[in-house]
Amino acid sequence: MSDAPGTSSQQKHWLVRPENIRKLWILFIVVLAGVALLDFVIHPHAEFGIDGTPFFYSWYGFATCVGMVMFAKLLGIFLKRADTYYDD
Amino acid sequence: MTIEALHPGLVLIVGAFLLPFVRGAWRMTLVLVLPLAALGLVWQLPDGVLISGTFLGLAVEPLEVDALSRLFATIFAIMAFAGALFAMRQSRVLELVAAYVYAGAAIGVSFAGDLITVFVFWEIMALGSTLVIWSADSENAWKASFRYLMIHLLGGVILMAGIAAHVAAGGGTDFAAMRPESLGTWLILIGFLVNAAAPPLSAWLPDAYPEASPGGTVFLSAFTTKAAVYVLIRGFPGAEILVFVGLYMIFYGIIYALLENDMRRILAYSIVNQVGFMVTGVGIGTEMALNGSAAHAFTHIIYKALLLMSAGSVLYMTGKRKCSDLGGLFQSMPLTTVCGIIGALAISSFPLTSGFVSKSMISQAAVDESLAVVWFLLAAASAGVFLHAGIKFPWFVFFQKDSGLRPKDPPWNMRLAMILFAFLCIALGVFPGPLYAILPHPVDYVPYTAPHVVNMLQLLLFAGLAFFVCLPMMRRTLTISLDFDWFYRQFFKVSAEEFSYRGAQAYWRLWGRLEVRVQRFIAGIYRHHGPQGVLARTWQTGSTALWMALLLGAYLLLYYV
């Protein structure tokens, strides 16, 4: 079902070449900046005060996600077991 | 019994039992025609009670139709069709029969006008879904199915007790909006919540669903939890406790999915997460919130099935399910990758996908009711959904590292089912009108406003940034995470072993003591009555006559006194 991977004769897929990954990162950061700066063009109507401040959705999305990853990591210390844990 | 129309659920259930008797192309035709026939029938039914009668002296209404029940029956029938299309050439006939009984029972629940009918179809769903898990035919599936069945039978018993208490308290059998205020209604609510995978018994879902076959998991993802959402919308709109239950489920799903390594278990945890959004909406309880929950159940069934179809295709073609074994599959499975990504975008409620037009109604309801904390938590959770399912699933399965696997896209029927649901995810996102038109309450909501679209994009794209920044912290490990099922899989098992060990010791000690007593008793009798015993000695005639005379004298004396 699977061919031998990564043989040198095979040209790597364009998406996994390092120079393209760099370009994708640059593109991603440009898009992020663009979307964040849209706050100055489109004014959201604040429902609860803080959600009307500039860049609220940008930092809130980023911060809460980092928070959730950290919390999961912390919980993982206590909850993670080898995946053969329940095997007899 | 008055019958004014054919029950679409029963059509599917009875039709399912015909499947083993036809072969080849006829079976394939029947498989595809049955859910379409049920769907057609759903839309022929006028509003009102169409089948009614009495059962054990209680009024039952097995077929009562309104907008809400029609909405859920519609999506259950569509799901049965697409699921069967995905599974029909790969699954055993037993699995298809079980899945159709399961789907038919879910339709039965959504048309139930009374609590007795709800209960009957509720139990048929439990049996049908257990059989679907069995069909995977593996040791793990067999064990998981028993744990699954026990939880669901427990839920069924609680529901039955609740219905009995409710009827005994004079509540009647009619299935209408209740408040959790009496013993009966509390038990009914708990019974419903067990099937919604609410805490503390959430673990049955990620434990059992990923053990089913590739097609089986697709069926399982749709019916049980969403039938539970339906009965909560119908039975407990505005019950405040559901807001807390729902929010807990949302974050439970995210955190456990972040820790998980098995791709189908990631998606299973994310079912709990998504059902959490719906349960929160039911708890908020306004027309906007209930519309949001109902619409979200509709769109969720489609994109979750699509995600599990793409995961199922990977499993079917590679035989692997752990993220640590997968990666780089986009090169040889382009269609599966694209469909998986569309499902992932829809679950993350990206603009122009179905999740965007449904989930935002629940957030809007929180705004309308000025529930600030709920709204901030829902916003964080929306970002979290993108994190744990929207990027994590496609990234680790299709991109990540090159695993060296080069499987092809799956067979044509699996591809067709994915294309159908990917199309629906986009179509409902671009044209939400038809979905909004069949919601239970009139819709006064416009999802596509410039601020809403921009804010959602900001939230999601920066969540994406957080994913790639935190990627080193999310290296996949060969682990599972302990959950509530630890209590019944490990704690009770170990305590039962300990109990039986100590119990056996105590038993043998007691038995030993009893034996000593019995032996001492026998020895005592032997000492008195044995050949050497004092009572066994022969006496001389003289002493016998003396003792007789003494006894008679004592008798004479007593007689005169």
Option in B404, B458, B467 nearest A65 (CB):
B467
Contacts of B90 (CB under 8 A, 6+ apart): B213, B214, B215, B316, B411, B414
Asked if B221 and B209 count as a contact pair (C-beta separation under 8 A), the reply is yes
Whether pLDDT at A10 is above 70: no
Q: pLDDT for B58-88, tens place per residue?
A: 889 999 999 999 999 999 999 999 999 999 8
Q: What is the pLDDT of residue A21?
A: 85
Which residue's entry shows tokens 């100590």?
B502
Distance from CA of B490 to the nearest CA of A (A): 8
Q: What is the pLDDT of residue A44?
A: 67
Q: What residue in A sits closest to B482 (Cα-Cα)?
A: A79
> CA-CA distance, B105 to B127, in Å (whole number)?
10
pLDDT band at B4 (very low <50, low <70, confident <90, very high): confident
Could you tell me which of B226, B224, B161, B170 has the C-alpha nearest to residue B190? B161
Q: What residue in B sits closest to A5 (Cα-Cα)?
A: B404
Is the ipTM higher than 0.90? The answer is no
Whether the CA torsion B263, B85, B357, A37 is positive or negative: it is positive
Optimal mutation site among A64, A71, A73, A88, interface B, most CBs of chain B within 10 A:
A64
Option in B262, B454, B465 nearest A62 (CB):
B465
> CA-CA distance, B437 to A11, in Å (whole number)?
51
Strands B2-3, A80-82: pairing kind? unpaired
Residues paired with B322 in a beta bridge: B262
Q: Is A64–B480 a contact, with Cβ atoms under 8 angstroms apart?
A: no
Say which residue, B468 or A4, is predicted with more confidence.
B468
Q: What is the pLDDT of residue A7?
A: 45
Q: What residue in B sits closest to A32 (Cα-Cα)?
A: B461
* CB contacts, 8 Å: A22 with chain B: none
**What are the CA-CA distances from residue A66 to residues B38, B303, B469, B471 (Å)?**
46, 26, 9, 10
Say which residue, A47 or B425, is predicted with more confidence.
B425
Q: Is B384–A68 a contact, with Cβ atoms under 8 angstroms apart?
A: yes
Q: Is B473–A69 a contact, with Cβ atoms under 8 angstroms apart?
A: yes
Asked if B474 and A68 count as a contact pair (C-beta separation under 8 A), the reply is no
Q: pLDDT for B187-242, tens place per residue?
A: 999 999 999 999 888 899 999 999 999 999 999 999 999 999 999 999 999 999 99
Q: Is B458–A35 a contact, with Cβ atoms under 8 angstroms apart?
A: yes
pLDDT band at A6 (very low <50, low <70, confident <90, very high): very low
Option in B372, B386, B404 nearest A48 (CB):
B372
* CB contacts, 8 Å: A71 with chain B: 255
Sheet holding B48-55, edge to edge: B2-3, B48-55, B58-65
Which residue's entry shows tokens 């003591």?
B513
Q: What residue in B sits closest to A29 (Cα-Cα)?
A: B465
Distance from CA of A9 to the nearest CA of B (A): 15
Q: Give, in degrees to the nearest 5, the angle at Cα A73 between A67 and A79.
A: 130
> Residue B349 — φ and ψ, nearest 5°?
55, 50
Q: Is A81–B490 a contact, with Cβ atoms under 8 angstroms apart?
A: no
Q: pLDDT for B439-480, tens place per residue?
A: 999 998 999 988 889 999 999 999 999 999 988 888 778 888
Asked if B301 and B219 count as a contact pair (C-beta separation under 8 A), the reply is no
CA atoms within 13 A on the CB side of B112: 26
Q: What residue in B sits closest to A4 (Cα-Cα)?
A: B404
Contacts of B261 (CB under 8 A, 6+ apart): A83, B322, B323, B324, B476, B477, B478, B479, B480
Option in A51, A72, A81 nearest B480 (CB):
A81
Whether the CA torsion B360, B73, B274, B305 is positive or negative: it is negative
Q: What is the pLDDT of residue B148?
A: 93
> CA-CA distance, B49 to B4, in Å (whole number)?
9
